[in-house]
Amino acid sequence: MGPGVSVRELLELHGRPPREVYFDLENSGYVPPEVVNEMLPYFNSVGYGHPSITHKPGWEAYEAIYRTKELLRQVLGAGGIEEFAFTHSGTEANNLAVLGLALARRGTRGKIVVSAIEHLSVIHPAEAAESLLGFKVVRVPVDSEGFVLPEVLQEFVDRSTVLVSIQFVNHEIGTVQNIEELSKVVKEVNPEVVFHTDAADAFGRLRIDLGRLRNVDMLTLSSHKIHGPRGVGVLYVREGIRLEPILRGQLSAERLWPGVENVPLIVGFRKAVELAFSDFEGNVSRMRSLRDRLVDGILSRVPDVLVNGPRDPARRAPDNANLSFLYVEGEALTVELSMRGVYVSSGSACTSRILEPSHVLLAIGRKHEEAHGSILFKTSRYHTEEDIDYAVETVTGAAERLRKLSPLRRDR
């Protein structure tokens, strides 16, 4: 959409689509009425006070935070609620994990190890720790499906390593890492290493048991990834791990993240967690079934399409489908689909507006033109089979039309 062009003008030009299907859940998404209704009283009826102040509205606000942390403790099998710190996004939580640990270990000039396909909210603070604090940052390569191999990771960890950060599930291609094995390998080389995993795209899709993952020291969550409101992130920090706050200001209920907590959004996040886990297996099964219907439908009808990430469904997040459409630009396909009511993202969800190829897709060996032709779909329990069938039909027609216009098409 160019500057000055309104949504209304676009609808007048193209007409309203017969159906709208939203797959861009990596970036943001639908917040169900149950979550919205849970938040509303906390704006003006209950818990609207500062959670650190000793009056009734403050106590109510603190109780709301406490109840949310208690639910997370139960769902994740953590030791205590004091191990959870609220931020205002997953990006902030990742920054706190990386830079907070670096500040706590400043002066050591140790090594920070990340995978080549980490979220940029891990890679960029690691690079800042290198340039500002003197740490050495190394990126572990991945295989063609995005997996970090234990024997390869082992080669990058040594006695100088202070932090290793490996995503639980990759946000673009859905690769499910074996975090239990990877964290064990790291600790066997150096028990003093702090192991962090960004689990924002795993939470609500995979079972996470921190009692079993004894070598995981820090873990990141994000509210909007499970149909909660935007504006809530969580960093789990195992007892005994020391971090320095990266923000300074008036202390609040959160020791590591000063400022007034956004209590209504935290309450909304709690409700989203309840909904995601009330029928966890059913929700995951529905995501997977709809995802498979989408992928199988597109692959059966559209030629020259590459599947990015793991082929084995057991090793891929149940909601993730990342496909590269050859001989067509992903951005053009995104716009074409949008005009027909199918909403997706192209390339890297974090860099699509600057038209750079995804660092994740390049890391698994995709060529620049293959990365530029990638489209990310994420299914949810709120989609229907009719939504999926409409999307398959729409993608088929859009890809065919754009390929006829493309100078990249195969018959030229």
pLDDT score, position 352: 45
What tokens does 195 get? Answer: 């192991």
- Residue 246 to residue 411: CA distance in whole angstroms: 55
Mean pLDDT of 227-254: 93
- Residue 218's H or E segment, with its range, is strand 218-222
Got the DSSP string for 213-269? -TT--EEEEEGGGGT--SS-EEEEE-TT-----SS-SS--S-SSS-S---HHHHHHH
Beta-strand (E) ranges in 5-109?
Answer: 21-22, 84-87
pLDDT score, position 5: 56
- For residues 52 and 62, the answer to whether their CB atoms sit within 8 Å is yes
Mean pLDDT of 393-397: 98
| Alpha-helical runs (H) found in 279-408 | 280-301, 330-339, 359-363, 368-372, 385-405
pLDDT band for 356, please (50, 70, 90 cuts): confident
What tokens does 396 get? Answer: 């088929």
What tokens does 117 get? Answer: 């396909």
Q: 87 phi and psi, to 5 degrees?
A: -120, -165
What tokens does 221 get? Answer: 């969550």
pLDDT score, position 251: 72
Closest Cα to residue 349, out of 25, 1, 16, 44? Answer: 25
- Residue 117 to residue 140: CA distance in whole angstroms: 9
Average pLDDT of the residues of the chain: 93
Residues noted as catalytic: 350
45: helix, coil or strand?
Answer: coil
Kindly list the domain boundaries of the chain, sorted by start residue.
Answer: 7-30+280-405, 34-277
pLDDT band for 1, please (50, 70, 90 cuts): very low
- Residue 412 to residue 406: CA distance in whole angstroms: 9
Whether pLDDT at 349 is above 70: no
- Residue 314 to residue 175: CA distance in whole angstroms: 10
90: helix, coil or strand?
Answer: helix
Q: Strands 111-115, 161-165: parallel, antiparallel or unpaired by DSSP?
A: parallel
115: helix, coil or strand?
Answer: strand
- For residues 345 and 26, the answer to whether their CB atoms sit within 8 Å is yes
pLDDT in tens, 189-219: 999 999 999 999 999 999 999 999 999 999 9
Q: Strands 21-22, 345-346: parallel, antiparallel or unpaired by DSSP?
A: unpaired
Beta-strand (E) ranges in 32-135?
Answer: 84-87, 111-115
Q: Which CATH number fits domain 34-277: 3.90.1150.10, 3.40.640.10, 3.40.50.2000, 3.40.800.10?
A: 3.40.640.10
Query: Rounded to the nearest 5 degrees, what angle is found at the Cα of 75, between the Cα atoms of 71 and 81?
Result: 50
Q: 316 phi and psi, to 5 degrees?
A: -130, 145
Query: Rounded to the nearest 5 degrees, what angle is found at the Cα of 215, between the Cα atoms of 212 and 216?
Result: 90
Phi-psi group of 128: left, alpha or beta (phi > 0 → left; psi -120 to 50 → alpha; rest → beta)? alpha
Superfamily of domain 7-30+280-405: Aspartate Aminotransferase, domain 1 (3.90.1150.10)
pLDDT score, position 232: 98
pLDDT score, position 158: 97
- Residue 257 to residue 249: CA distance in whole angstroms: 9
Q: Is the pTM of this model over 0.85?
A: yes
